[in-house]
Every structure is written in C-alpha cells, then in structure tokens.
Amino acid sequence: MSVNQEQAVKHPLAGKQMSGAEMIIQVLADEGVDAIFGYSGGAILPTYDAIFRYNEAQNAHKGPNIRLIVPANEQGAGFMAAGYARASGRVGVGLVTSGPGATNTVTPIRDCMADSVPVVLICGQVPRAAIGTDAFQEAPVFGIMSACAKHVFLIKNPDELEATVRTAFYIARSGRPGPVVLDVPKDVQNWTGVFKGAGMLNLRGYQQRVETVAASRVSKEKAEAFFKNLAKAERPLIYAGGGVINSNAADQLRAFAQRFQIPVVTTLMGIGGMDTTDELSMHMLGMHGTAYANYTVEDCDFLFAVASRFDDRVAGKVHEFAPNARFIAHLDIDAAEIGKVKQVNWSHVGEARSGLADLTEYGRNFKKDYSKWISHVQELKKNYPMNYDRESKLIQPYYVLETLNEILKGEGIVATGVGQHQMWAAQYFDYKGARTWITSGSMGTMGFGLPAAIGAQLACPGKTVIDVDGDGSIRMNLGELETLTTYDIPVKVLLLNNLGDGMVRQWQKLYFSHRFSGSDKSLHKKDFVKAAEADGFGFARRLTDKADVKKVLKEFVDYKGPAFLEVMIDQDAGVYPMVGPGMGYKEMVTGDWINKRETPALPKAAEEIDMTKIPDLF
C-alpha cells in the first residue's frame, strides 16, 4: 500500500474520539507491536497510562496485550528494542520520557543507525509552550537526534500525530532500515481529536526514492556484463555484508552461491547470511576474520560485494584489499555506498533479495567449473584453521565457546557485548540461520549484549538466547540482570571474565609496550555471582576448573529460566588472527597457534570459456 492510499477496509475505530496518547498506542497496535521497551517519567506519563488502559480493554475482550518491559536504564530500553528488531526483522519500539530519558537513548539510536536497524523511539517532551525555556527535564531532542537517526519528528501539530506515528514505522523499515525518533510534547499527548485509522504524511521525494529502489531490477545488459566477467574468472568470491540480514536475503544469497559454486565470506554483521557449516562458507573476513577467509580474499580474482560497504575493519588498506581481483562487482540498496571506499567495475543499486534472484535467473544456463578453486579454498580451511593452546591448564575462552557450540549446534541466538569475547563468539560458533547473531558492529558499543539479548528473547520466545559477555562490557548495563528475573526472561548470560578490558589490553601489549593504562580491572571488587544472586537468579555460578566446563555448560543451557555463569578465563588469551590498524591482509598476525602461510599458491587457471557463447546464455 502506498503512503497516500486509503486502507481497503475501514478501521473499526475510525471516527472515535481519542487522546493523542491513545492514538499513539492504537497505531502501535495496528503496526503489530507486541512489546514496548521503556522507562516512564512526567513528560511521557499520558502515553504510559494509555498502554495500561489499552491492555485493560484488550483483557476484557481476550485480545492480545502489548507487553511493557521496564529496564534499569533508558539505554537498556534502546538496546532491547534493537535486539528485538535484529532478531525478528520487525520494528523495535522504545518509549522514554523527556530530558535525560531521551538523551540516555542517544547511543542506542546511533548504534541502530550505524548497523541499519529499524526502531521507533517515542520520547516525551515538555509542553509546546515551554519548549525553549529550559523547562524541567527539557532537552533539544530534535537537534541531538537529527545527527544520529534516520529521521526525527518534533510533533507540534496534534492533527498530524496519528499520521506521523504511522509514517515513522514506514521510514524505519523501508529502504535502508534505520531508527526514527518521535519527540511528542506532553500537551500533544493530552490533546483529544478524531482517530482516522489510516493515512500517512506526505513524504515528498522519500517514498518515490524508496519505491524506485524497491522496483529496481537487474537488466539483461547488466546481467550479461556480470556473467561475461564471471566467465573470465577462475577464483570468484562473494563478500556478503549485514545488508543481507537486514533485507532478509539469506535464502537468495545461499541459492546464488550454490547455483554457481562460489565461496562466501561475510562481514561481522553478515554472519548468518550463509550457513557457516556449509562447504562454501569461509566464515568472517577482516581485522579478526579467519585466516582462511582472509587468504581467500587475497587469492580471489573476481569479488562480488553483496550488501556490504568495504568498511575499515574489512578493507584495511583499501588499495591492497583483494589485490588479485581483476573485476569487482557491488550490489547494494544504498547508492551512496557504490564507489564510496573502493572503486568497482560493475554495480547495481537495489534490494539484495531481488538483485540476487535476478542474477540467479539470468544465469540459469551459465556453466563454468570452479572445482579447482573450491578445492583450493577447502585446503585453506584445512591448513589454516582456528586454533589455540589446547593443552593449557587455564580455561581458554575458545574452548568454552567450542564446547557451548557443540551444545547449541548452530541453532541458538547469540548476542554479545563488545570486546574480545565478541570476536571469539564470531569465530568459534556456528550460525546456521540468519538473525541468530546479534552484536554491535559499526559503533562497537560496550554494554550492548545483555539488553539486546533480552529484546531478542522477547522477539523469539521459543529460541535459546545466549548473551556472551565480558566483565568490562557487562558492567555498563549490569542493572539489566534484574530485568531478566523481574520478567522471568530465560536468557542465558555467559560472562567470560579476564579481569580487564581484554581488547584494549591486547592493543596495549602490541602497540603501547604493555602499559595497561585504565584497562586493568584485577583490583575491582565486583562479585558478579553475588550480584546475580541478589537480582534473583536461581542459577548463578562461577567456573574456575577446566575439567568442569562441559558439565557446567550443559546445566547452564538446560536451566529453565534466566541463568548466569561466570567463567574465569586465561587473562592473556588474545584474539587472533589480527590485522592491525592501517594494515593489509599481508600483515595479518595469526598468533602462536594458527598457521601462517608464506607464499600464496594459487590454483592453476582452468580452460578459458569460449566468450562467443556467453550472449547465448541470455
């Protein structure tokens, strides 16, 4: 349905008198919202009251409620909404008060913008007459959030409230997804008007741009150029990014890779786009990508970037990225990403789903044998696998995650904080499906994991959700442990405790002569297990003996309800491979336990395909 098109069936409440707050909640219900994450306060109280009354009315008719989850902090609410959206693909919703309530959500909103996550944040604001007077709990939300969000509305005209809320959902989920902020003055929430039940704002050029991109299909001429160059290639590679997940294009990516037998590397945000247990999956590339993934990038002669943006943690030295690639193709929904970092030979601006589907269909008669290349990348996997000191008497984080992976079998949802534990979780878990990996990528926000896991569990109540966290990261939103027990949300919190900010320490070892300025937490007195017990966890344990890892992890995962497990790991465990800042893949450090190759041995070229036959494929 277009923005200005009336609903085919008139809304049953159309014409009813409602307060602005009631309209907000009714539109949320119409949009399919089943959970709101937020903290109340004076400027948003009318809308919180409307939630209560809405659910009361629903109970009377045995209808579905909108569940309200109150966190310890508004930042937690924002990350819960983000975790909900990332795990489900639906729009996550936050609801906070004015002033500090709104400013506490700036980080999650920027985080969602950086990773293209669709959320709608509704903030209370002081009454319109008080705006600009430094009234109690007033903050310039429009100005602050405009630099961080996809779009911000300050609703001064009550007659536009209903349409604006509906429009916010359209903007959040359409095109390249992102966060939308609604700043709603208290008097607008208290205003009474007629509920229309349909209609959105006139978005001028936005809707046209979105519809143009959505309708964009790969032309026959573009497809012919793509496959002519693919036919010349001997070592093609797909480099898939987070847009594959955001656009629900995992099935199309897998079908394309299987049809043409092309290996796939993914970015951190693209994990889950390809089943990591598939023969064609080379797992994650980049700064902490697998050695075999990075070697595959080094060796490829044709690179197809799908919904990825050549960011600094992947491309490193841009001019040295994929140095043997004679042809680079780029498919992305955002025209601004084409050529922004790396110049390409072929591009298409459009949705990943339709673009991959079009190319798969155009190439239905395409035939080329890449078996030598497949054998080569499989040898890379075999010769340069992830590895660590398996004989160490200390508990190695890699061993913990390998063991947990054997229990989960790639079927659970893994959320993480940010730091070493994040990279270990990316490297050592299997991810068979899309939206099973929830992490803060571009912003790298510590404190993300626990609240995001809560949102993911609310979105996917039948799934096992694990928060893999670090002692530094979890401290930032530790209050959300109580949120788990308050609502009996069965997230499993795995804390890998190395008594410090491990990633920072690793950099300080490598680049700052072991000067651990501000990163050593060994003197901190926090007893995380006691904290979890104080918050009501029935399962709260500390693991210090390597011999107990398998047994305790199984008990941890099988526990019915929220569970907390702290594992005291080797403080000197590092994240490898590592491509240092400003370095290229040739400078990749593999550490003491991962093999490093000296000279690339590329597979011999197969027999050249007869280029005169290529046009006949179309």
Active-site positions read: 74, 136-137, 186, 503
Interior CA angle at 68 toward 62 and 122, to 5°? 120
Q: How far apart are CA 399 and CA 278, in angstroms?
A: 22
Run of H or E residues at 144: helix 141-146
**At CB < 8 A and 24+ separation, what contacts does 376-379 make?**
376/235, 376/299, 376/602, 376/603, 377/263, 377/282, 377/292, 377/296, 377/299, 378/279
Q: CB of 272 within 8 A of CB of 436?
A: yes
Q: How far apart are CA 105 and CA 56, in angstroms?
A: 29
User: Identity (one letter) of the amino acid at 107?
Assistant: T
Per DSSP, helices labelled H in 174-242 are 186-190, 205-215, 220-232
Percent helix, percent strand, percent coil in the chain, to nearest 5: 40, 15, 45
Q: Map tokens 């660590």 to a residue.
A: 388
Q: How far apart are CA 486 and CA 138, in angstroms?
A: 30
Q: How far apart are CA 581 and CA 142, in angstroms?
A: 35
Q: How far apart are CA 53 and CA 60, in angstroms?
A: 11
Q: CB of 356 within 8 A of CB of 306?
A: yes
- Whole-angstrom Cα Rg for the chain: 25
Interior CA angle at 507 toward 504 and 510, to 5°? 150
Interior CA angle at 274 toward 268 and 280, to 5°? 110
Q: How far apart are CA 64 and CA 609, in angstroms?
A: 60
Q: How far apart are CA 103 and CA 139, in angstroms?
A: 8
β-pair type (539-543, 563-568): parallel
Run of H or E residues at 236: strand 236-240
Residue 196 phi, psi (nearest 5): -90, -35
| Chain centroid to CA 245 | 8
DSSP SS3 for 140: coil
Q: Among candidates 408, 420, 506, 432, which has minimal Cα distance to 469?
A: 420
What is the tally of helices (H) and strands (E) in the chain? 24, 20
Residue 9 neighbours by CB under 8 Å, 6+ apart: none
**Residue 179: exposure state from Cβ atoms within 10 A (0-12, 13-18, ≥19):** buried
Task: Tokens for 460, please give them.
Answer: 């996917």
Task: Tokens for 420, please give them.
Answer: 């070493």
Give the single-character DSSP code of 322. Answer: S
Give the Å distances, CA to CA, from 572 to 389, 496, 513, 527: 12, 13, 15, 21
